[in-house]
A and B are shown apart, each in its own frame.
Chain A
C-alpha cells in the first residue's frame, strides 16, 4: 500500500476544511491541520524506514526502531527549513513558483551535494527536451528532419538561458 498517504487528503480534505472554517470555530481547523501533518509524518516515517532498510542491507548493520523514528523526525523538521528557504529564494527572484535554480541554491553548502543535484537537474532538463521531441514527432509528419542528436544540442543551448 505505497503512496496511500499522498493521495489521502486532496479535494475532499480541502472541501471539508472549507466547510469547517465556515461553520465551526478555529479549533476544528487546527485539528484538521494537526491530522494532516500527522499523516504526512507517517508518510515520511514509512519512506525513511524503506531507505534505512536499503542502507542497512548495504552495510550489513541494523537500525533500532528509535533510530528510524529519530531520523524521520529530523527529516520532517528539516523540510520546514527547506520550505522556508525555497519560498524566500523564489520571492527574492520575484516569483511565486519555486524552480530548479532555487533547489540548487539550497544545495550550495556541500560541493558533492551541489554537483549531484545539478546533474540531476540537467538530466531532468534533457528528459523534458526528449519528451518535447517525441510530441513533435507524433504531431508533425516526418519530413527532412535533422537527426535528434543535433536538435537536442541546439535546443539545449537556448534552454540554458530559459532555465533561470
Chain B
C-alpha cells in the first residue's frame, strides 16, 4: 500500500450494513452529523439527503481513523508506545491535503 493512501476497512459484501452498523459499532451518528453540518450552512434552506448524511458519517469515520492511525504510525516510527500531540501535529498537514 502506498504511504499516502487512505487506509480503509474492506467493504462488507452483500447488503448494505451501514445503517445497522451505526447501532452496533462506534462511529458518527446520522443526527449528530446533520446538526454539525447545519451549524455551518450559510443558507437556512440548505438540507442534506439521508444518503448523503450516511456517506458523510462514513467520511468522518475515515477521517478520524486516518488521523489516529497516522499519528500512531508516527509514534511507532519514533519507537514510542504512546501517541502524543506532537505525533498528530506531524501528520496533520498531509492529512488535511489528502482530504
Contact = CB atoms under 8 A, between A and B. Distances in A.
B82 A51 contact: no
Contacts of B29: 2-3, 6, 47
B26 A50 contact: yes
B6 A83 contact: no
Contact of B15 (A79, A96, A107, A130): A130
Contacts of A112: 5-6, 8
Contacts, number: 204
A5 to B, nearest CB: 7
Secondary structure of the B contact surface, majority rule: helix
Interface in B37-78: 37-43, 45-49, 51-52, 54-56, 58-65, 67-69, 71-72, 75-76
Interface of A: 2-3, 5-7, 9, 36-37, 40, 43-44, 47-48, 50-56, 59, 61-64, 66-67, 70-71, 74-76, 78-80, 82-84, 86-87, 90-91, 96-100, 102-104, 106-107, 109-113, 116-117, 119-121, 123-128, 130
10 contacts: A3-B29, A3-B32, A54-B65, A55-B68, A59-B76, A61-B76, A82-B59, A83-B37, A113-B62, A127-B19
